[in-house]
Structure 1
Amino acid sequence: MPIRAVDEAPLNRFHRKLTWACAGGPFLDGYLLSIIGVALVGMSGELNLSTGDESLIGAAALIGIFAGGLFFGPVTDKLGREAMYTIDLAVLVAGSVLSVFATETWQFVVLRFVLGMAIGADYPIATSLLAEWVPNKHRGRLLGVLILAWYVGAAAAYAVGYVMAEIGGQGTWRWMLATGAVLSAVILLLRVGTPESPLWLVGKGRTADAQKAIKQALDRTVPVEELLAASAAEQAVGQSRFRDLFQGVYLRRTLFCGLFYMCQITPMFALYTFGPTILGSFGLGEGNDSYLGSALISCVFVLGCVPALRLVDRVGRRPVIVWSFALVVAPLAMLGGGSALPVAVVIACFCAYALFSGGPTVLEWTYPNELFPTSIRATAGGVATSISRVGAAAGTCLLPISLDRLGIGTTMLIGAAITGVGWLVSFAWAEETRGRTLAETSSRPGAAPRSTTADNYARRTP
């Protein structure tokens, strides 16, 4: 039994503010992961960092994201979305401020790990909160906006890094890190006062609190009977636990969400991280202007997400993800021609890859939030994020080795093969969830009616 006041509400100021506030986490992810890459140039010289030190600092955040998603997803389902929603941003502020004053490699590694944990925690926290507040017909698009914010954050980091490096030189690296602290504080303030998810509240039997939250956010009074029906429906599903993600239909959904996410992000993250190096392997330019080039690459990824945001709620999730994966394979396979390809072809292939990857990208957080019930929704999102980061870390670590030993052409073909696996997974397991309530999309196929209370109220309500 859904809460109709939430599922059928028109978009209003609250929804827009909540979307911006939730998008702040992915924006900071893109910004903080990218600004450290720019700052490392100045850090290496001033702090005498070795190649190993740089690798540790760069990998610490990815490891932290893996741990944060895996651990804090279940915590969010237990303690609630609203509490964790501000705590993790406070950690980002503190970690970013301390990074400005760090002087030793181990300090940067620890702080980057902590920042990564906070970022990994924010993914399931913010996405589950937004998914449980927005109307059904807008859910796919608004959840996709969160992914879009990642690329905007990354582009902003490279642009800021480029300007600061040009004006102040490499010695401005601490000021670069300070910008991350300021942005984290701004987004924390934006999140203060956000009400708790009504679905989570009714799932815990707190119907009075859910009624107050809906009144505060949407200025609508929901009959207690409707909330009791929704609470009974949530209780009828049962309080699923972490192990339920690996049983029955939820096992298939867990594998689907984690694998397609990993197959999408593995080549993308590697290409994104080493974009200037890869372009150099194709005979294109590199140097300090590579920061600006990376910012432009981010903008192309943003452009690819824009049409996908409209299509997921118009034509559906399944056709978007299946066709997008199929189209992404082609430019990567063409890049398998290596350095012999004309420059125009290389640029066209990179642009095509960035544009076509928008489909899987905007669904990275939509599917985990739609395919699992409220009691394990954040947990599922955290697990999917953690699985994806295994691929991101592997791709980031192995790509330089592959470029050196196998060459650019073979490396691109490997990326095409990984993307092909993503297409197979999506073709076999992607479900259509467009226009359905979270109660419908997260239920087991063929499940019996959830509760007599819910059914009776639905029959009485016009």
Structure 2
Amino acid sequence: MATPVPDATDGNTVTTDVPARLDRLPWSKWHWMIVIGLGTVWILDGLEVTIVGNIAGRLSEKGSGLAVTAAQITGLGAALYVAGACSGALFFGWLTDRFGRRKLFMITLGVYLTATAMTAVSFSPWWFFLFRFLTGFGIGGEYAAINSAIDELIPSKYRGRVDLIINGSYWLGAIGGSLLSVLALNTSIFPANIGWRLTFALGVVLGLVILLVRRHVPESPRWQFIHGHGDEATELVSDVEREVEEEKGQRLPEPGSTITIHQRKSIGFWTIARTVFGAYPRRATLGLSLFIGQAFLYNAITFGFGSILTTFFGVSTGDTGYYFAVIAAGNFLGPLLLGRLFDTVGRRIMISSTYLLSGLLLFGTAWLFDRGSLNATTVTACWCVVLFFASAGASSAYLTVSEVFPMETRAMAIAFFYAVGTAAGGITGPLVFSDLTKSGVVSDTVLAFCIGASLMCAAGLVAVFTAVNAEQRSLEDIATPLSSAGKPQTGAATASGV
């Protein structure tokens, strides 16, 4: 095992090689535990959103146990879920930077589990809507706590592909939610007032399984050494190194650099804001462009997905779940198959190309739709191709904002850009696309497609000029921590373990 650099302290100043030691680790069972414990929450989010969208019709029927309309479920219910996700991301994002990743990703999962369980036993509309808000509150907090922890624990060589695949796993949940809703809506199997409750109960079961694994996920050593827990960070990394060396049967190479930082307990909110928007305006513009572009593209396609199929192609409402499962599969395959290229070909080329390609392909789909050249099967195939690239691009938006800002601002930056993107997609998007996709007028739906495609292409062009070449680079090299007392040191001093 490589010899760790002892903490060289002077008051609250410490020199450490923890980031370099984490980044030079080979892929191991320990990393799989991180991925499973933290990454699988996106499956829950996809399950949640898809289930509610697909069972809205059943909840509005007599005998469902709730006196609500489908419009209230997809309108008020969706808006409250989005509001909860935005506020949860900002609230828990601030706490994550202040009190640590591990404490918060345990709390946010607990909030999600409790709220989902309470949703399953809803007896009144106000109860249902309250816990839809709180479910979103927990999920929003998960995005900030989890993305920051993953990027800080995964080696730089694999960070891009792992982050993309994890964010893309949302669509595995969407596939499950689509197929599960078909089963839940079958009244020959479950009574009308029971089936929809069981779908939420399944989310609780999956969350409990994730909680069991997550108990073993450690705090981020990067957060620890900045916030006055340098000894704990060194001990944790040393334990991981011993575990990896035993698994691989060989000693690890010496780490390549050290960094000297001034330890601090917390970072003020205004310091974070000034850093993100004052010191890194180009990166902030990039983050906003990527999030807003993907939010509008996804709403252009998915918000009126069922209405488009039923209105223009005569698909029955009970069968739309099968079509959605197909495009969800296309969404997951994008990050899965393209993720590695973000670490090898590079961030700038892959981010810009996935955004531009998906936008141009959606323009092509709009043209074919306007000509009347598509049916339910071929329009779904077109959406699959568009979303294959769009999903990789959308996942890279989360990767980008989680790695291009300083360590101390990471969770809050993720929370802010996620909140902006979610608000654009969940509030502005429906206002723009609802009437367009449900009007039954071909030109209106074509306009919806073109709006989403235009914003996606615009974001891709922004990425051409502003994307950061962050592939296989240490987080501290991409953005120097605010607490840094100098540039990272490399060479003989590190090799000697001094």
Could you tell me the TM-score, scaled by structure 2's length? 0.84
Sequence identity percentage: 24
2:135 to 92, 115, 118: 115
1:278 to 299, 302, 308: 308
1:455 aligns with 489
1:50 aligns with 69
**Structure 1 pair 39/345, CA: closer, same or farther in 2 (3 Å)?**
closer
1:260 aligns with 290
Q: Which moved more, 1:133-142 or 1:282-291?
A: 282-291
1:416 to 453, 460, 465: 453
Structure 1 unmatched ranges of 5 or more: none
Does residue 1:401 correspond to 2:401, yes or no? no
For 1:162-197, what per-residue CA distance to the aligned partner results, in whole angstroms no more than 9, with x for missing partners? 123233254311112211111111111111132110
Match of 1:323, as an amino acid? Answer: S
- 1:408 Cα deviation after fit: 1.5
1:326 aligns with 356
1:315 aligns with 345
Contact 1:256 1:426 in 2 (8 A): yes
For 1:72-130, what per-residue CA distance to the aligned partner results, in whole angstroms no more than 9, with x for missing partners? 11110000001001111111111111111111211111111111111111111111111
**Structure 1 pair 347/115, CA: closer, same or farther in 2 (3 Å)?**
closer
2:328 to 290, 298, 307: 298
2:35 to 19, 36, 51: 19
2:209 aligns with 186
1:363 to 391, 396, 412: 396
Match of 2:190, as an amino acid? Answer: G
- 1:252 Cα deviation after fit: 2.5
SS of the residue corresponding to residue 472 of structure 2 reads coil
Match of 2:197, as an amino acid? Answer: R
SS of the residue corresponding to residue 169 of structure 2 reads helix
Which aligned pairs between 1:364-383 and structure 2 lie closer than 5 A? 364-383=397-416
1:209 to 232, 237, 243: 232
- 1:353 Cα deviation after fit: 0.6
Match of 2:448, as an amino acid? Answer: T
2:249 aligns with none
SS of the residue corresponding to residue 436 of structure 1 reads coil
- 1:281 Cα deviation after fit: 4.3
Q: Which moved more, 1:71-80 or 1:362-371?
A: 362-371
- 1:331 Cα deviation after fit: 2.2
Match of 1:309, as an amino acid? Answer: G
- Runs of 4 or more, structure 1, over 4 Å off, are 226-229
SS of the residue corresponding to residue 341 of structure 1 reads coil
Contact 2:286 2:466 in 1 (8 A): yes
For 1:22-81, what per-residue CA distance to the aligned partner results, in whole angstroms no more than 9, with x for missing partners? 112211111111112233222212323135532211221111111111221111000000
Contact 2:277 2:284 in 1 (8 A): no
- 1:307 Cα deviation after fit: 2.2
**Structure 1 pair 277/14, CA: closer, same or farther in 2 (3 Å)?**
same
**Structure 1 pair 228/77, CA: closer, same or farther in 2 (3 Å)?**
farther
1:92 to 93, 102, 112: 112
- 1:442 Cα deviation after fit: 1.4
Contact 1:325 1:422 in 2 (8 A): yes
2:463 aligns with 426
Does residue 1:247 correspond to 2:251, yes or no? no
Instruction: Give distance in 1, aligned partners of 2:230 and 2:201.
Output: 43
Instruction: Give distance in 2, aligned partners of 1:347 and 1:160.
Output: 20
Structure in which a larger fraction of residues adopt helix: 1
Instruction: Give distance in 2, aligned partners of 1:213 and 1:303.
Output: 35
For 1:323-379, what per-residue CA distance to the aligned partner results, in whole angstroms no more than 9, with x for missing partners? 111111222212333352233653442122112213312312211121111111111
2:261 aligns with 233
Instruction: Give distance in 1, aligned partners of 2:231 and 2:276.
Output: 34
Does residue 1:64 correspond to 2:84, yes or no? yes
**Structure 1 pair 134/267, CA: closer, same or farther in 2 (3 Å)?**
same
Instruction: Give distance in 1, aligned partners of 2:417 and 2:143.
Output: 10
Instruction: Give distance in 1, aligned partners of 2:492 and 2:107.
Output: 38
Q: Which moved more, 1:117-126 or 1:339-348?
A: 339-348
Instruction: Give distance in 2, aligned partners of 1:111 and 1:96.
Output: 7
Match of 2:338, as an amino acid? Answer: A
How many residue pairs match? The answer is 454
**Structure 1 pair 63/239, CA: closer, same or farther in 2 (3 Å)?**
closer
Match of 2:390, as an amino acid? Answer: S
Alignment root-mean-square deviation, CA: 2.7
Does residue 1:128 correspond to 2:163, yes or no? no
Instruction: Give distance in 1, aligned partners of 2:319 and 2:352.
Output: 36
SS of the residue corresponding to residue 26 of structure 2 reads coil
